[in-house]
Structure 1
Amino acid sequence: MTYRVTLHVSALSQMQGIPEVALDALISRTADLIKEPWDARPLYRDDPDFRMTTFGDFGVMYFKVDEGRELITIFNVTWAG
């Protein structure tokens, strides 16, 4: 199963000014998640669809997995910079 990815408008605005090397790491980690979306830490105990993961040493992304629609929605990107 291969998931699609969408970026919430809040994540897009948080990515403004992100350095190229950090963006590359974010893209690489997202590509990994397309194949294995559950390979990330659950954000909430009672709702495992919400997950978080790091992208290199550059930051953290928060996302929701919709298994039925095979969709990953990235809703928050926090990066150092």
Structure 2
Amino acid sequence: MEIHVAALSQMKGLPVEALDALISRTTDLVEEPWDARALYKDEPEFRMTTFGDFGVMYFRVNEADELVTIFNVTWPG
């Protein structure tokens, strides 16, 4: 699992409950990275998922390197 610096910046001020939900969903994605909606039809490695009712995270699955990279976190804060 890797979190891009842009996503880390977007997470500033995230309430504790939202951070807990983000961590929980991220843990799930480590085990099942394809359990999320594809962003682009022709690039299924780019995906998105919600974390609770708090926001949306966008990530890329790199099967060859067995790496999930979160590159964007959107929440109303």
**1:43 — aligned with what?**
39
Query: CA–CA distance in 1 between the matches of 2:26 and 2:47?
Result: 12
Within the alignment, does 1:77 sit opposite 2:73 as a pair?
A: yes
Question: Which stretches in structure 2 are left out of the alignment for 5+ residues?
Answer: none
In structure 2, distance between residues paired with 1:73 and 1:62: 9
- Identity, in percent, stands at 73
Aligned position for 2:24:
28
- How high is the TM-score relative to the length of structure 2? 0.98
Counterpart residue number, 1:17:
13
Q: Whole-Å Cα distance in 2 between the matches of residues 50 and 39 of structure 1?
A: 12
Give, as a single letter, the amino acid of the residue that structure 1 aligns with 2:61: V
- Alpha-carbon distance between aligned partners in 2 of 1:18 and 1:53, rounded to the nearest angstrom: 17
Count of residues paired in the alignment? 77
TM (norm. structure 1) is 0.94
Q: Distance in 2 between matches of 1:11 and 1:22?
A: 14
Identify unmatched segments of 5+ residues in structure 1: none
Structure 1 residue runs of 4 or more that deviate by more than 3 Å after TM superposition = none
